[in-house]
């Protein structure tokens, strides 16, 4: 299978995101322990190193979306159009 990004590139991106978001003093440092726990879970559950790196990047993107978002755009679940009021 051909991938558009190789493992080294993904791991470098994850390292940059970790350094800018969850490092001490970073805007999401409070999430560092939760992220570390998830990263250990990814390492235990996922055999492929690329899958582990992609899972870490997804977790970091979620943290970023929660912590660094415009004040006018809070993170909320969208309403279900099929649900009756």
Q: What is the pLDDT of residues 69-85, one digit of tens each?
A: 766 566 565 666 665 54
pLDDT given for residue 69 in this prediction: 72
pLDDT given for residue 70 in this prediction: 63
Gap between the Cα atoms of 3 and 21, Å rounded: 26
Secondary structure of residue 76 in the 3-state scheme: coil
Q: What is the pLDDT of residues 17-53, one digit of tens each?
A: 999 999 999 999 999 999 999 999 999 999 999 999 9
What is the pTM (predicted TM-score) of this model?
0.76
Half-sphere exposure in the Cβ direction for 59 (13 Å, CA): 22
Tokens of 10: 């993904």
Gap between the Cα atoms of 38 and 30, Å rounded: 14
DSSP tag of 25: T
Gap between the Cα atoms of 59 and 20, Å rounded: 14
For the cut 80, the answer to whether the pLDDT of residue 54 exceeds it is yes
């Amino acid at each position: 299978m051909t991938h558009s990004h190789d493992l080294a590139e993904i791991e470098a991106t994850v390292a940059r995101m970790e350094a800018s978001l969850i490092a001490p003093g970073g805007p999401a440092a409070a999430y560092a322990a939760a992220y570390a726990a998830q990263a250990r879970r990814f390492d235990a559950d996922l055999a492929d190193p690329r899958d582990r790196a992609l899972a870490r990047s997804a977790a970091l993107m979620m943290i970023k979306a929660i912590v660094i978002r415009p004040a006018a755009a809070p993170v909320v679940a969208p309403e279900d159009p099929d649900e009756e009021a």
